[in-house]
Chains A and B, each alone.
Chain A
Amino acid sequence: MNPSQRPLSPHLQVYRPQWTSVLSILHRITGVVLSLGTLAVVWALVALAQGEAAWQQFTAVLDTGLGTLVASAFLLALFYHLLNGIRHLVWDTGRGLDLPSAFASGWAVVVGAIVLTAVVLGVVL
């Protein structure tokens, strides 16, 4: 590898983590996770279209302990990214950028994501 000598983005590990910066990097991490989750949704659609046998293969993976755990993690990532994405869209209008508001909305996003995930899992499982 021959990395270029151009300036780098700030390295995460040289900053002391703060509530707001942890939530910020979580938005990116959940985004990457959801990119894979969206491929799983595409897999589900294709399996549905292919017929009963393909669909049973898909649900068999989903019904294993690991499959259920991964699907639940996708759901938590989905609700976190959805709520924190709304938080970002509000920021884009110039509102809620002061520190107390940013901390409070951060808590609302985390609690909201956990509650929504628990509710959906409670209905679906």
Chain B
Amino acid sequence: MSLRHPLAKAINHGAAGDGVGHWWAQRLSALFLIGLTAWLVWALIANAGQSHAEIVVWLSQPFHAAMAGLFAVVALYHSRLGLQTIIEDYVHHRAAEVGLQVGVMVITVVAMAFAVLAVIQIALGAAS
């Protein structure tokens, strides 16, 4: 008879492994995205029908530049977490699953880099 607690035996041997961390990351990013989406709608309404120069001036204000960068990064992160779960649920061919997961991760990181650099360029007044 083992004196080890059943929970101690079960930990790290479940099918999900690190599922709780994923769950929290998805919920926390969702919470932040409520506010960031409100900002995106504000940005759409404030800049409707504006010229390129006017939009760049609006977006180069520190608050709006920060919100634009945060929206892109947090939305891409949240997307990656969701797509990861969907791929895990529906793609049962191991090679296809790994390929898709890596592909999604690469696109996510590349898009984050482009978004952040674009926002920095706009914020510093370097957008032509």
A interface list, Cβ under 8 A from B: 1-4, 6, 8-9, 28, 31-32, 34-35, 38-39, 41-42, 45-46, 48-52, 55-56, 78, 82, 85-86, 88-89, 92, 120, 123-124
User: Which A residues touch B48, using CB under 8 A?
Assistant: 123-124
Q: Please give the distance in Å from B22's CB to the nearest CB on chain A.
A: 14
Decide: A31 near B93, CB < 8 A? Known: A48-B55, A48-B118: no
B interface list, Cβ under 8 A from A: 27, 30-31, 33-34, 37, 40-41, 44-45, 48, 52-53, 55-56, 59, 68, 71-72, 75-76, 79, 82-83, 86, 89-90, 92-94, 96, 107, 111, 114-115, 117-119, 121-122, 126-128
Contact assessment for A3 and B122 in the assembled complex, using a CB-CB cutoff below 8 Å? no
Contact assessment for A45 and B83 in the assembled complex, using a CB-CB cutoff below 8 Å? no
| Contact for B127 among A49, A56, A85, CB less than 8 A | A49
Contact assessment for A9 and B89 in the assembled complex, using a CB-CB cutoff below 8 Å? yes
